Amino acid sequence: MKLKLPHTYVLLFALVVAAALATHVIPAGEYERVDRGGRTVVDPASYQEARSDPASVADVFLAFPRGMSATADIVFFIFIIGGAFGVVNATGAIEGAIEWIIAKGGRGERVIPVLMLVFALAGGSLGMAEETLVFLPALLMVSRRLGYDAITAGAVGLVGAGAGFAGAFMNPFTVGVAQGIAELPLFSGIGYRLVVWVVVTSLAVIHVMRYAARVRSAPEQSGPSPVRGLKRRHTLVLLVVAGTVGAFVVGALQWGWGLLELSGVFVAVAVLAGWLGGLGADEIAEHFIEGAAGITTGALVVGLARGVLVIFDGALVTDTILHALAGAVEKLPRSASVVGMYFVQVLLNFIVPSGSGQAALSIPILAPLGDLVGVTRQTTVLAYQFGDGFTNVLTPTQGYFMAGLAMIGVKWTDWVKFIWPLQCLWLIAGLVLLLAAHALQYGPF
């Protein structure tokens, strides 16, 4: 009898229940938070036990709405993406672009690596993560038309950007934040990080290409449709979408734009693309609603994925776990300390999936510890970067990733079968790169 695997929501709710039970065993404790250069970080010498307040049955059921509240910006961002792409798809522009690519001889073995490199560059320089969701509907259509499956579509965007994010050379949300907390020059050590980016991205592209070659079938044929080829109005719609990406890059770098501003831009995309694509006002509204409704599973899963952290934070055990892990590293031989730091960060990412949040929690503790055991602060930041980045496309507590899988209709359990060999390769490569950095006494420049 074939074993039936649980629904994603069932899996996440089970993790919330497990976290709640764990709070009855793990003692409560906390670090004091201090302001350092405009950032709230932990004071590494301030840990103390706190009054135990383990999660109750009510906390288990409140974890979902509390998680939704904590991730409201991401949740509504996903709904708006769905609505905007509902309008864009209704114009026929994406279908027309796909037909144009295929007519020009576009082949998967060429298209996939090029797209992955684009996403990896965005992840490595701009910190693209949640923004990847914008492109998944179009990637799914491209993948199916070229004869690949939904996992391939997700891999191009999620793994491509994830590789760049993990091996980032100047990601402001991880490298920038962590170096600031560790009191290193911003984006220093970029030469070695470029080597890291090449290694991590190459492993990702090779893995995805090998998978795609195994699953490729005859290209999917579209049924009878009035859309044939790339018409002028389709080109205008695609220019609007491309211009949106450019606007966000400039906005993020020049004006500090985040998800709120990007959400507003995509509302404008829906209106402008619909108008240029020949849709009436009522049609734009109807397709926006249909697109948003179709992405409900992906939007709501973000709040449930945050549930574990909500439970741990509410019971004051998150800091206890970090304190215990840091204490374990301190007891290791000096030669093994960098390895211990690495695996602390990997484990920590399962309960603190936010990159900047993990940096604010762990770097103030591990950087001074590295000073004591002979690990440079640059190497400590690199260990954090790997630990935070590699499992972003694996852990079910990472909200945007789980939302992405829901958007393309891929079960987490099926994704794990695809991603685990790459996870192993990444973890091994990260260890080798860290040991090399430690041997070279990787410094600030």
Q: What is the predicted pLDDT for the residue at 229?
A: 58
* CA distance linking residue 386 with residue 352, whole number of Å: 14
| 273, 241 contact by CB (below 8 A) | yes
Once rounded to an integer, what is the mean pLDDT over residues 422-445?
92
Alpha helices in 225-354 (DSSP H): 232-255, 259-276, 281-293, 296-305, 307-314, 318-330, 337-348
Token representation of residue 150: 């939904």
Q: What is the predicted pLDDT for the residue at 220?
A: 53
Residue with tokens 């093994």: 336
* CA distance linking residue 381 with residue 369, whole number of Å: 12
Is the pLDDT reported for residue 219 higher than 70? Answer: no
Q: What is the predicted pLDDT for the residue at 94?
A: 74
Identify residue 251 by its one-letter amino acid code: G
Q: Which residue has the higher pLDDT, 355 or 268?
A: 268
| 131, 86 contact by CB (below 8 A) | no
Q: Which residue has the higher pLDDT, 248 or 84?
A: 84
Find the radius of gyration of the CA atoms of the chain.
Answer: 22
Q: What is the predicted pLDDT for the residue at 2?
A: 55
SS3 260: helix
| 73, 281 contact by CB (below 8 A) | no
Phi-psi category of residue 409: left, alpha or beta, with phi > 0 → left and psi -120 to 50 → alpha: left
Once rounded to an integer, what is the mean pLDDT over residues 126-155?
86
Neighbours of 277 (CB within 10 A): 24
* CA distance linking residue 312 with residue 65, whole number of Å: 15
Is the pLDDT reported for residue 56 higher than 80? Answer: yes
Q: Which of 444, 442, 443, 424 is nearest to 434 (CA)?
A: 442
SS3 60: helix
How does pLDDT run across 270-315, given as a tens digit for each residue? 999 999 988 999 999 999 998 888 878 878 888 888 888 899 999 9
Once rounded to an integer, what is the mean pLDDT over residues 36-55?
85
* CA distance linking residue 34 with residue 295, whole number of Å: 39
Neighbours of 427 (CB within 10 A): 17
Token representation of residue 224: 């009878």
C-alpha torsion 125→131→132→135, nearest 10: -120
What band does 445 get if pLDDT is binned at 50, 70 and 90?
low
Handedness of CA 350, 352, 354, 358 (dihedral sign): negative
* CA distance linking residue 227 with residue 248, whole number of Å: 30
Average pLDDT, the chain: 86
Most confident range (mean pLDDT) of 49-58, 193-202, 322-331, 356-365 is: 193-202
User: E strands of 46-162, at which residues?
Assistant: 48-49
Is the pLDDT reported for residue 65 higher than 90? Answer: yes
Q: Which of 326, 409, 355 is nearest to 153 (CA)?
A: 409
How does pLDDT run across 322-332, given as a tens digit for each residue? 889 888 998 88
What band does 444 get if pLDDT is binned at 50, 70 and 90?
low
Residue with tokens 């999620």: 158
Is the pLDDT reported for residue 193 higher than 90? Answer: yes
Element spanning 36, H or E = strand 33-36
What band does 426 get if pLDDT is binned at 50, 70 and 90?
very high
| 85, 136 contact by CB (below 8 A) | no
Share of the chain above pLDDT 90, in %: 42
Is the pLDDT reported for residue 142 higher than 90? Answer: no
| 372, 388 contact by CB (below 8 A) | no
Is the pLDDT reported for residue 104 higher than 50? Answer: yes
Stated pTM of the model = 0.81
What band does 224 get if pLDDT is binned at 50, 70 and 90?
very low
Q: What is the predicted pLDDT for the residue at 335?
A: 76
Q: Max alpha carbon distance in the chain (Å)?
A: 69
Q: What is the predicted pLDDT for the residue at 223?
A: 43
